[in-house]
Chain A
């Protein structure tokens, strides 16, 4: 579903991603871990072209992402993204946050969009909040709305950029539960995370990035118990 070949990203002279090649198959849940500044988020943001790669190719469902700027918003419609700081639209109600993009970008009728949005709100356990504005929600609730908002576009792939890092500890679980549920439903997911528990339990594969290099990848059981590289060992010693 995703195929990344020789991806490089530079900010000025600073090389943030260096020769990354990997792929993700349909239904797979991939966790990207690594120290801060390792390029995890930049890599994820390249996957829907919020960052434009310096060189290399990214294919999503066989379509080259970097080839055309014109079709990019069509491709983005199939890729949901969840941000660390939620980025809900503060001037819209929760329900409007969910219906806005389907109506504007896909031309879905209001009644249909609202019906689907209500189902999604039920799924993330926030049915009673549909008329609330984002500023009145807790961090965990905001993130669940943000996940529902991304799902409202019925994407084939979901990207998560440290979705629990900005949350108070007691709210992490409610968000992870929604994500686990989503993984079970067969959604293809790429998750940048500091939650090693999530990576171990839910992910099918773990990618370990350090200094912009894909140092190691493998199944979580393997990776967490027998990391192959020194750098991964070092990192795991510090976080576990």
Chain B
């Protein structure tokens, strides 16, 4: 078997740097996706029809087309249409954030609708305004139910982040390809970053468990 991991040793710092590069945009994409997803979910369950239509159309578009296509459209069409030379970093945050928000909005919508209707009635009967009720009573309870689904989405996002390598963003995946091209050996660097992705996901899983335990306090 022609396997030689010693050859990638000099490239290890270069590849490890990719962890930070990947995490950086994944972090911002998750933040963007969560905020936007929450808003869209509130639109979907709200009573204002145009907002509901907007949220539904939004979800249908971003869920109905490939993520890699959305990424390319953002990266290539923005400079062409506006003249603004968008960086791969910003394109990646936008594409992943916008795409993820469509999925997150569905998760949160289901979570809100699964909260006992009596909770809303109790808050209304106490004269609590809608905003406060959503923020303090409904969403915290919804969050507890949807945490596993939400962690799933974040894990998927972290792994799928590898497709930003296609627009030349120097993330983990791209770095493995660069090293592979340099060495004429692809298997070792690919295996190496594969291990790193796995570790990242394990880390996320652990964080999710901690959150879950904390939310279970009231049981």
Q: Which of B72-80, B104-112, B134-142, B203-211 contacts A (4 or more CB under 8 A)?
A: B134-142
Chain B binding surface SS class: helix
The count of residues in chain A whose C-beta lies closer than 8 Å to any C-beta of chain B is: 28
Q: Using A83-B122, A104-B136 as known contacts, say yes or no to A90 and B218 having CB atoms under 8 A apart.
A: yes
Chain B residue contacts of A75, Cβ below 8 A: 127
What is the minimal beta-carbon distance from A165 to any residue of chain B, in angstroms? 14
Tell me whether B121 and A91 are in contact (CB under 8 A): no
The count of residues in chain B whose C-beta lies closer than 8 Å to any C-beta of chain A is: 22
Tell me whether A104 and B132 are in contact (CB under 8 A): yes
Tell me whether A90 and B141 are in contact (CB under 8 A): yes
A98-141 vs B, CB cutoff 8 Å, 1 = contact: the mask equals 00110011000000000000000000000000000111000000
A79 located at the interface, meaning its Cβ lies under 8 Å from any Cβ of chain B in the complex? yes
Chain B residue contacts of A79, Cβ below 8 A: 125
Chain B residue contacts of A135, Cβ below 8 A: 218-219
B129 located at the interface, meaning its Cβ lies under 8 Å from any Cβ of chain A in the complex? yes
Q: Using A91-B144, A135-B219 as known contacts, say yes or no to A101 and B127 having CB atoms under 8 A apart.
A: yes
Tell me whether B128 and A73 are in contact (CB under 8 A): yes
Chain A residue contacts of B85, Cβ below 8 A: none
Chain B residue at minimum C-beta to C-beta distance from A88 = B122
- Tell me, in angstroms, the Cα distance from A153 to B123 when the chains sit together: 12
Tell me whether A87 and B122 are in contact (CB under 8 A): yes
Chain B residue contacts of A81, Cβ below 8 A: 122, 125-126
B119 located at the interface, meaning its Cβ lies under 8 Å from any Cβ of chain A in the complex? yes
Chain B residue contacts of A85, Cβ below 8 A: 118
- Tell me, in angstroms, the Cα distance from A73 to B219 when the chains sit together: 30
B116 located at the interface, meaning its Cβ lies under 8 Å from any Cβ of chain A in the complex? yes
Chain A residue at minimum C-beta to C-beta distance from B132 = A104
- Contacts A/B (CB < 8 Å), 27 sampled: A50-B121, A50-B124, A50-B125, A73-B124, A73-B128, A75-B127, A76-B124, A77-B127, A81-B122, A81-B126, A85-B118, A87-B118, A87-B121, A89-B119, A89-B137, A90-B141, A100-B137, A101-B126, A101-B128, A104-B128, A104-B132, A105-B128, A105-B132, A133-B217, A135-B218, A149-B126, A150-B126
> Could you list which residues of chain B lie within 8 angstroms of chain A, going by C-beta atoms?
116, 118-119, 121-129, 132, 136-137, 140-141, 144, 215, 217-219
3 nearest A-B pairs in the assembled complex, by CB-CB distance: A77-B127, A87-B122, A101-B126
